[in-house]
Amino acid sequence: MPPLSPPVRQFAAVGLLLAVIVLFASLTIVPVATRIGELSDQIEGERLLLGRFVAMAALQDKLADMQNAGRAASESGAYLKGESDAIRAASLQTFMSDLAGANGVRLNSTRPLPPRDRDELRVVGTRVQFTADIEQLREMLYSIESTQPFLFVDAVQVRPVSALAQRDPEFGGLLDVRLDVFGALPRKKG
């Protein structure tokens, strides 16, 4: 084999050097760069997950505060007490009967009303009917709206006991009254 000329040898040496460099780069640098890219993506995903955990931890702190406030409200006298809507309705009827007695009014009838959901509250109600004069009615309404548990008069129907009530001293301004009264309880979550 004839000897190669110096420019061809230099060219071959440079080519061989470039081949070794490319081989070295493809065996070491490319896998390392790929691994660095994978780790960078993994770090970004972990940062995103960490951000979500931080947000959840902040919500947990707020949730605990909200649960404590809800417990405090439930334990206060603001809401009706009882384990079920039926027990709460019966308790409300008893409360209304006691309130009427304290105001010198005798209830003619009471009946529970269907529970309703309003915003974040569940309300349980009762319909009461009684006969009273205007002063007793005013005292009754004041007592209902100024005591705890908080009660709300949803409907009022008032009419004279008799068309002749104003002229007949026996009926002396007596009114036939029907009230729909509701008490609130916190809505159960879930």
With a CB cutoff of 8 Å and minimum separation 6, the contacts of 102 are 143
Backbone angles phi, psi at 175, to 5 degrees: -120, 145
Query: In the predicted model, what is the mean pLDDT of residues 85-107?
Result: 89
* 56, burial (CB in 10 Å: exposed 0-12, middle 13-18, buried 19+): exposed
Q: How confident is the model at residue 190 (pLDDT cuts 50, 70, 90)?
A: very low
In tens, the pLDDT along 168-187 reads 555 567 889 999 999 887 66
What does the pLDDT average to over 128-137?
92
Phi, psi of 27 (to 5 degrees): -90, -25
In one letter, which amino acid is 55?
A
Determine the pLDDT at residue 169.
Answer: 56
Q: What mean pLDDT is reported for the chain?
A: 84
pLDDT tens readout for residues 46-71: 999 999 888 888 888 788 777 777 67
**190/84: higher pLDDT:** 84
What's the pLDDT band for 84 if we cut at 50, 70, 90?
confident
| Cβ pair 181, 144 in contact under 8 A | yes
How crowded is the C-beta side of 35, counted as CA atoms within 13 Å? Answer: 6
Please tell me the distance from the alpha carbon of residue 71 to that of residue 177, in angstroms, as a whole number: 36
Task: Give me 71's structure tokens.
Answer: 């417990």
Tokens of 188: 């159960």
Q: Residues, the chain, total?
A: 190
> What's the pLDDT band for 126 if we cut at 50, 70, 90?
very high
What secondary structure does DSSP assign to 46-98, as a single string? HHHHHHHHHHHHHHHHHHHHHHHHHHHHHHSTTS---SSHHHHHHHHHHHHHH
pTM of the model: 0.57
> In degrees, to the nearest 5, what angle opens at C-alpha 57 toward C-alphas 55 and 63?
105
Task: Tell me which DSSP letter residue 167 carries.
Answer: T
